Amino acid sequence: MKKNWNSQFSDNLKGYGGYSIGKLFALLSDPEIISLAGGLPSPEMFPKEDMRNASQKLLLENLDTIFQYTNIKGESSLLEAIIKFLKRDNIDVSEENIMITSSGQHGLDITGRLFLNPGDIVFVDRPTFAGAIVAFQLQRPEFIGFDIEEDGPDVASYLKKIKELQKQDKKPKFIYVVPDFQNPSGITMSLEKREALLDLSYEYDIPIIEDSPYRDLRYYGKTIPSIFELDQRREEGNVIGLYTFSKLFCPGIRVGFNIGPKDVIARMINIKEGNVLNTPKYNQDMCTAFLTEMNYEPHLEKCRNYYREKLKVFLQTMEKYFPAKMGVTWTKPEGGLFLWVTVPEHIDTYELFYEALKFKVAFVPGSTFYGENSSKNHMRINFSFASKEQLAEAVKRLSSCIKSKL
Ligand SMILES: Cc1ncc(COP(=O)(O)O)c(C=O)c1O
């Protein structure tokens, strides 16, 4: 190839490396490796029989329409089902407040495109969801990260930074949070902090992007109102909610939805017009069936029981194989699919990843989850995909691997 394409690429792509986890996942083809790396829900939790029935019905009855172009905003039947679904979480929206997306990742991409100019500031947690970083990065913002605490984002530091930025006539374009069982840390934001974040959002006029893929996967403790709900109670409209069917139904369906003030949603639809146009109707109809025909409440309860057991096994085995003297700590999530392990500071988990492959176990190095100034001695662990036996074995292998570095 003679042509040098690099000079042709847009400024937005300069220095953009994409999703770095992808490169690591390519190394996990050895079937002996127990991977705790992906964010995969367990296929055992796919409602398979219901999916077969719903799919068969669609193929038999709606073949003329399900593979046609369809509404850009989304199918009315799905919008209606989502409105009902959100009501059980005390969120009251109408069709004008929702846009169907082709996955949570798509929802993030559209959010970044809607709000960010190059150089705009985005507040994120340290660590935060890597997919959000790569989605927003395409608009070349500046990330400012704040160490997440046991009860969620460090709202006091947000405030301090906002005041500092004010002196330079700057402010963040938005604050991105995953308040429930955050990916990657598993940490949940307390009610007090949700309220404090809203106070700050109103006082300084900074929108909040609340990304909520795991809200329904709570295994312990009491549900805390979403920031979207709290904002609705205060009638301000400063919050945009991002949702996906990936973790509750199945990720391959690639359907999610964004909710927010109608002016915001209208502009998001404009972006989708030039972007994917419509989300496949078949996939949307399958999600409608999930919400209307598949008895999703007992299904979600089944998922909670199943993942709770896996989490329990993981945590119990960690206690056994990581005695305090090893200097390894980990979060104890009340839900979701992930937890966050911190190893002694001299261990770089990016290097440890390759060492762990020799022990036939894999995780995601923590440095992937930072918008800026990444920290090197952490790892994200997924406990939803591997079997309980594999989880216990993986912990043993991890322990041996880390011991070899102490
Ligand atoms: C916090 C968060 N947001 C968004 C997504 C993207 O979800 P989807 O698989 O629907 O693109 C994920 C997936 O892991 C996630 O953890």
Atom 14 in ligand 1: which residue has the minimum CA distance? 39
C-alpha count within 13 angstroms, C-beta hemisphere, residue 274: 8
Expressed in angstroms and rounded, the spacing between residue 210 Cα and the centre of ligand 1 is 12
pLDDT band at 88 (very low <50, low <70, confident <90, very high): very high
pLDDT at 20 over 80: no
Given a cut of 90, is residue 130 above it in pLDDT? yes
- Note whether 253 and 102 are within 8 A (CB): no
Residue from 19, 105, 136 whose mutation best tests the ligand 1 pocket (most atoms within 8 A of CB): 105
Of residues 162 and 17, the one with the higher pLDDT is: 162
> Is it the case that residue 4 has pLDDT exceeding 90?
no
pLDDT score of 21 more than 80: no
What pTM value is reported for the model?
0.97
Contact 148, 127 (CB under 8 A): yes
Q: Is the pLDDT assigned to residue 277 strictly greater than 80?
A: yes
- Tens of pLDDT, residue by residue over 157-167, are 999 999 999 99
Question: How many whole angstroms from 276 Cα to the centroid of ligand 1?
Answer: 18
What gap in Å lies between CA 328 and CA 348, rounded to an integer? Answer: 13
| Mean pLDDT, residues 123-137 taken together | 97
Sorting pLDDT into bands at 50, 70 and 90, what band is 324? very high
- For the segment 299-318, the average pLDDT, to the nearest whole number, is 98
- Comparing C-alpha atoms, which of 112, 131, 103 is closest to residue 280? 103
Is 90 exceeded by the pLDDT of residue 310? Answer: yes
Q: Which atom belonging to ligand 1 lies closest to the Cα atom of 178?
A: 1
How many A from CA of 243 to the centre of ligand 1? 8
Hunting for tokens 């994917």 — which residue is that? Answer: 276
Q: What is the pLDDT of residues 362-391, one digit of tens each?
A: 999 999 999 988 999 999 999 999 999 999
Q: Which among 336, 323, 349, 319 has a CA at the least distance from the CA of 383? A: 336
Identify which of 100, 102, 125, 247 to mutate to test ligand 1's pocket (most ligand atoms within 8 A of the CB).
247
Cα distance between residue 298 and residue 294, in whole Å: 9
How far away, in angstroms, is 102 Cα from ligand 1 center?
Answer: 11
| Ligand 1 pocket, residues with Cβ under 6 angstroms | 39, 103-105, 129, 131, 178, 183, 211, 213, 244, 246, 251, 256
pLDDT of residue 1: 65
Q: Which tens digits make up the pLDDT trace of 169-202? A: 999 999 999 999 999 999 999 999 999 999 999 9
Q: pLDDT confidence of 207, banded at 50, 70, 90?
A: very high
Domains of the chain are 5-46+298-403 (3.90.1150.10), 64-295 (3.40.640.10)
Q: How far, in Å, from the CA of 373 to the mean position of ligand 1?
A: 23
Percentage of the chain surpassing pLDDT 90? 94
Please give the order of strands across the beta sheet that includes 338-342: 329-330, 338-342, 378-382, 364-365
Q: Judge whether residue 109 has pLDDT over 80.
A: yes
Ligand 1 center from residue 213 Cα (angstroms): 6
- Annotate the chain with three-state secondary structure: CCCCHHHHCCHHHCCCCCCHHHHHHCCCCCCCCEECCCCCCCHHHCCHHHHHHHHHHHHHHCHHHHCCCCCCCCCHHHHHHHHHHHHCCCCCCCHHHEEEECCHHHHHHHHHHHHCCCCCEEEEEECCCHHHHHHHHCCCCEEEEEECECCECCHHHHHHHHHHHHHCCCCCCEEEECCCCCCCCCCCCCHHHHHHHHHHHHHHCCCEEEECCCCCCECCCCCCCCHHHHHHHCCCCCEEEEEECCCCCCHHHCCEEEECCHHHHHHHHHHHHCCCCCCCHHHHHHHHHHHHCCCHHHHHHHHHHHHHHHHHHHHHHHHHHCCHHHCCEECCCCECCEEEEECCCCCCHHHHHHHHHHCCEECEEHHHHCCCCCCCCEEEEECCCCCHHHHHHHHHHHHHHHHCCC
Residue 250 pLDDT > 90: yes
Mean of per-residue pLDDT scores for the chain: 96
* Average pLDDT of span 309-330: 98
Contacts of 43 (CB under 8 A, 6+ apart): none
| Residue 148 predicted with pLDDT over 90 | yes
